[in-house]
Amino acid sequence: MKKLINLQFATSATALLFLIIGVSGVMMYFHFYDKYVKEMHEVLGLVFVGAVLLHVTAHKNNLKGYVKKPLFQFLSVVLLITTVLFVADVGSENKVSPKKIIIDSLLQTPLQNSIIVLKADKTEVEKRLLDEGIKVDFSKSIQDLAKENKTSPFKIVEIISKK
């Protein structure tokens, strides 16, 4: 009886989590509710790994037969190669990320220019940064200010961008 409950739990948890992870993955691809879905997808992804391990353990005798089948082996190789190509990002050494260029430019240009791009008021930016204990020098870049003030450049951008 206990073994039957474990089998049912492992299969049910795996199937339901697979469904949720699949739907949230599609939502992330289309940028629906990005922040909340991403967090849920990541956390439930970890839980899913545990459920899959339980499922594999509970069904190990049945799975032994699948592993020996040519179709399973072929798909394993194809998926492994696809995964490696995505992770290694083959050919990316010649590509330049437009996002990286924009972010680097924003962080390395003088603050007086960055606030224009961020559509922020100079007086308000100075007040906000000083309120956060950050010494302001508009001739220095956000990156330099971050180093001098021992904080993240993204924290400074966050402070500047507050509405």
pLDDT digits (tens, 9 = 90+) for 24-39: 989 888 887 777 888 8
Q: How many angstroms separate the Cα of 38 from the Cα of each of 15, 58, 83?
A: 20, 30, 20
pTM reported for the whole predicted model: 0.50
By CB neighbour count within 10 A (0-12 exposed, 13-18 middle, 19+ buried), where does 152 fall?
Answer: exposed
What is the rounded CA–CA span in Å between residue 147 and residue 68? 56
pLDDT tens digits for range 116-155: 888 888 899 899 999 999 999 999 999 999 999 988 888 8
